[in-house]
Amino acid sequence: MKTINVKPDKIERKWYVVDATGMRLGRVAVKIASVLRGKHKPEFMNHQEMGDYVIVINADKVELTGRKANQKMYYRHSGYPGGITGESFEKMIVKKPVYPMERAVWGMLPKGPLGRKLYKNLKVYAGPSHPHTAQMPEKLEI
């Protein structure tokens, strides 16, 4: 079988919009990460950026199952001894409504320069509107 090498300027990129209302955080993040990487394309190569752009709207209406809403913690460290702080999902979704979605997708992308490049193709918004109507995004079914 012959390997297909696609040049970066020949890659066709689409824009997709995902409405996260009532969806499970992990389930939607897996699909978004897959589209960002380009795994749905037949010419996928794991070392090349060939994914599409994804717009997530209503990220503040995403859900978790069970008691995860108050048990799931988001930690950060100030760099000083004893400087670790954590906030539950319930508090984080009020304080920074897009952070849980961004963090979930970020954890599913490859680490390193490629992952940082792919992460820039993700646009997350808390409300139902977004400024990317000129790109004519298609609805992504999950």
Is 59 part of a structural domain of the chain? yes
Q: What are phi and psi of 82, to 5 degrees?
A: 75, 15
pLDDT of residue 29: 97
**27: containing domain:** 13-64+102-139
Alpha helices in 1-73 (DSSP H): 25-37, 68-71
Structure tokens at 133: 């109507």
pLDDT at 8: 83
- Residue 70: inside a domain, yes or no? no
Number of domains in the chain: 1
**What pLDDT does 9 receive?**
87
Strand partners, 55: 17, 123
Residue 37 included in any domain: yes
Tell me, yes or no, whether 117 lies in a domain: yes
What is the dihedral sign for C-alpha 106, 127, 23, 34? negative
Q: Which helix (H) or strand (E) holds 99?
A: helix 99-108
Assess if residue 113 is contained within a domain. Answer: yes
Say what the pLDDT of residue 32 is: 98
Domain holding 113: CATH number?
A: 3.90.1180.10
pLDDT, tens only, 15-43: 999 999 999 999 999 999 999 999 999 88
Residue 74 belongs to a domain: no
Q: Give the chain's residues under pLDDT 70.
A: none
In a domain, 24, yes or no: yes
